[in-house]
């Protein structure tokens, strides 16, 4: 009887210790526990994408002014470095340093910022989607994604897209737990 009680108590302690170490979200998910806060949080995508944005893109593509737009720049190291600086300055605060949607301001938004590593790795997302989204922001979809078209030049936006493709593509697979 005593041995069973001791074994039970030890079992309970192990469960509590594991839960504390790995974080509530590991077991119950972010919907119950809030943003995931386990030990791998820095490299784990935490995003919910705008379903309305993706449905719009699937059904109608990008709006007319953005249709057929392609990156005018060939990838190069200086361009990627310039894009990294711009991304760091304008995007990392929400989307996180590696595009995983976990920037320092991400908790304060109505909807968490998108996991850009996942976005640029998806075969369904073209550069037209990225250029349109960054230019126009989330006003149309009621999100906090800022509109950058008056703040950044087209060339700067393409430079950031070039950087995201170079740095984030394929990362989301490695980052998943
Ligand atoms: C104030 C926080 C904030 C900043 C700063 C910000 N974003 Fe966002 N971004 C969001 C949020 C929230 C979403 C999700 C809602 C949406 O799609 O409108 C988002 C979505 C996106 C998406 C859509 C991805 C997808 O697959 O749905 C792209 C692309 C994007 N952001 C790129 C950028 C880039 C590039 C920058 C910097 C130039 C930037 N964002 C700056 C908050 C931000």
Per-residue pLDDT, 104:
84
> What digits encode the pLDDT tens for the residues 114-150?
789 889 999 999 999 999 999 999 999 988 899 999 9
Distances (CA, A) of 4 to 8, 10, 11, 68, 84: 6, 10, 10, 70, 58
Tell me how many degrees the CA angle 161-145-83 measures, rounded to the nearest 5. 25
Q: How far apart are the CA of 2 and the centre of ligand 1, in A?
A: 58
CA 22 to ligand 1 center in whole angstroms: 28
CA angle 157, 160, 161 (to 5 degrees): 90
Question: What domains appear along the chain, each with residue ranges and CATH number?
Answer: 1-39 (no CATH), 43-175 (1.10.760.10)
Counting ligand 1 atoms within 8 A of each CB, the residue from 71, 97, 113, 120 with the most, and so the one to mutate, is 113
- Report the predicted TM-score, pTM, of the whole model to 2 decimal places: 0.77
The atom of ligand 1 lying closest to the CA of 48 is 14
Is residue 113 in contact with ligand 1, taking CB distance under 6 Å?
yes
**146 pocket-lining for ligand 1 (C-beta < 6 Å):** yes
For atom 13 of ligand 1, the residue with the nearest CA is 113
Q: Which residues contact 43 (CB under 8 A, 6 or more apart)?
A: 98, 100, 174, 175
Query: Which residues, in sequence order, are CB contacts of 174 under 8 Å at separation 6+?
Result: 43
8-22, 30-44, 59-73, 138-152: which has the minimum mean pLDDT? Answer: 30-44
């Amino acid at each position: 009887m005593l041995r069973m009680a001791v074994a039970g108590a030890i079992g309970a302690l192990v469960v509590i210790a594991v839960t504390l170490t790995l974080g509530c979200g590991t077991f119950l998910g972010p919907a119950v526990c809030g943003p995931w806060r386990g030990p791998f949080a820095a490299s784990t995508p935490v995003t919910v994408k705008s379903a309305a944005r993706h449905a719009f893109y699937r059904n109608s593509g990008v709006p007319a002014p953005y249709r057929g737009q392609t990156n005018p720049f060939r990838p190069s190291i200086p361009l990627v470095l310039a894009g990294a600086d711009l991304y760091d300055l304008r995007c990392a605060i929400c989307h996180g340093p590696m595009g995983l949607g976990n920037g320092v301001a991400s908790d304060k938004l109505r909807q968490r910022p998108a996991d850009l590593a996942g976005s640029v790795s998806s075969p369904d997302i073209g550069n037209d989607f990225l250029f349109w989204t960054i230019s126009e922001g989330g006003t149309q979809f009621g999100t906090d994604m800022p509109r950058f078209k008056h703040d950044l030049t087209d060339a700067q936006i393409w430079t950031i897209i070039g950087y995201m493709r170079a740095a984030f593509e394929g990362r989301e697979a490695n980052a998943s737990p």
